[in-house]
């Protein structure tokens, strides 16, 4: 992977591990449940190609994502959500013939109906509801407090009535995505129970058939303790139970997971290019930075990492190293916020060693400010079967 004098800076994606993980998850779901991949987590073409054969479809949130999805799956297997959809995006979705749109506001509902009338067609929709809560503890809350997502629960009656009277939309049900990065399987089961109760109640009140229910993603990844991940088996057992209790077997239930499907299969590998002490603190400066892997600074956490020792050292001078020190791992950017991990107790690290950040397959490159300071982009390595030499470079 390395040529002499060229510091390593790679994203490495284990496609085989991802596909095995996703296949297990999909196989375990109840018969009336389908898995969509929320491509916002990682929309690299090779990821989508590998994912396409295991999921029912893609969940997208922009016109660009619609086009990325259509390169790998028929448009009829793409669902479109997210706030602030423009007329151009709505027209594009209609013209492509995507499966369904998740409507985020009454105004968006009216605009969608107008665009459908212009195209002389109809389209199935779900109303995204911002429930009042309260919800279990999670890293991010998308509902139960003021956020830009969905239709406030106190306005949902008006939205349902309006949707049922508009000629060009076909109300099929509801979309819920109330929490994100939840690590507690039992609490997630309870959230499903709440979703079922609300959806059935509104369908009964307004006398329309509940044809679809989207329960979002929100299943988390534990970056602090890699051995304490979300207990999927406990969740699935509970999901079977609440589907029985609520008599929801006849209703297609959609999941749209992103992070949980891809985070574990990605690695960001980079080289130690300097070691220094400043005002008593120890730093390992790495090739690249948060312009390539923004997740740690975005979430303000210490990202999990491993240090791979490299014995070769090309210089004649004494090799800088730190032993049994609290080390802060940073990048090359001209900002003190360019931090991957703070004061991590480190047995040994030397100039030229490789630091590998684990669980970098979701919200890594895709959310990063790639061209800040105009540093080179990383190389992308896709591992599948024996094709370890499959490299791509982003420009």
What amino acid positions are annotated as catalytic residues?
334
Chain centre distance of CA 395: 23
Distance CA 139, CA 105 (A): 25
Q: Are 269 and 355 in contact (CB under 8 A)?
A: yes
Q: What is the 3-state secondary structure (H, E, C) of 147-198?
A: CCCCEEHHHHHHHHHHHHHCCCEEEEEEECCCEECECCHHHHHHHHHHHHHH
Tokens 């239709």 identify what position? 151
- Taking alpha carbons only, the member of 358, 356, 383 closest to residue 263 is 358
Distance CA 106, CA 112 (A): 10
φ, ψ of residue 342 in degrees (nearest 5): -105, 135
DSSP state of 378: P
DSSP secondary structure of 78-106 = EEE--S---HHHHHHHHHHT-SEEEE-SH
Q: Are 217 and 180 in contact (CB under 8 A)?
A: yes
Distance CA 128, CA 174 (A): 6
Distance CA 377, CA 372 (A): 11
Runs of H (alpha helix) within 263-327:
295-299
φ, ψ of residue 377 in degrees (nearest 5): -80, 155
Tokens 């303790």 identify what position? 225
């Amino acid at each position: 992977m390395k040529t002499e004098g060229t510091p390593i800076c790679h994203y490495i994606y284990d496609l085989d591990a991802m596909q095995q993980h996703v296949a297990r998850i999909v196989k375990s779901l109840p018969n009336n449940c389908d898995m969509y991949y929320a491509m916002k987590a990682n929309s690299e073409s090779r990821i989508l190609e590998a994912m396409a054969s295991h999921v029912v479809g893609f969940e997208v949130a922009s016109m660009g994502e619609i086009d990325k999805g259509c390169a790998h799956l028929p448009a009829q297997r793409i669902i479109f959500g997210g706030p602030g959809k423009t007329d151009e995006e709505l027209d594009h979705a209609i013209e492509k013939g995507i499966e369904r749109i998740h409507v985020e506001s009454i105004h968006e509902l009216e605009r969608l109906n107008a665009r459908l009338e212009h195209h002389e067609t109809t389209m199935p929709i779900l109303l995204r509801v911002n429930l009042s809560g309260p919800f279990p503890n999670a890293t991010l809350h998308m509902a139960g407090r003021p956020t830009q997502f969905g239709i406030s629960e106190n306005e949902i009656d008006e939205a349902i009535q309006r949707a049922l009277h508009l000629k060009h939309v076909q109300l099929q049900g509801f979309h819920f995505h109330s929490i994100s990065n939840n690590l507690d399987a039992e609490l997630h089961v309870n959230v499903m129970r709440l979703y079922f109760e609300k959806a059935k109640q509104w369908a009964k009140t307004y006398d329309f058939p509940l044809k679809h229910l989207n329960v979002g993603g929100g299943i988390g990844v534990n970056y602090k303790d890699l051995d304490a991940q979300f207990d999927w088996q406990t969740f699935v057992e509970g999901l079977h139970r609440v589907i029985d209790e609520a008599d929801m077997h006849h209703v297609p239930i959609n999941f749209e997971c992103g992070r949980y499907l891809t985070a574990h299969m990605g690695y960001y590998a980079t080289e130690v290019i300097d070691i220094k002490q400043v005002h008593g603190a120890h730093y390992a400066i790495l090739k690249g930075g948060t312009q390539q892997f923004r997740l740690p600074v975005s979430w303000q956490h210490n990202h999990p990492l491993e240090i791979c020792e490299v014995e070769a050292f090309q210089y004649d001078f004494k090799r800088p190293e730190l032993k049994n020190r609290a080390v802060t791992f940073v990048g090359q950017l001209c900002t003190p916020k360019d931090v991957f991990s703070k004061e991590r107790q480190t047995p040994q690290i030397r100039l030229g060693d490789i630091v590998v950040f684990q669980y970098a397959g979701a919200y890594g490159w895709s959310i990063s400010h790639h061209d800040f300071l105009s540093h080179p982009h990383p190389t992308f390595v896709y591992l599948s079967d024996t094709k370890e030499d499959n490299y791509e470079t982003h420009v």
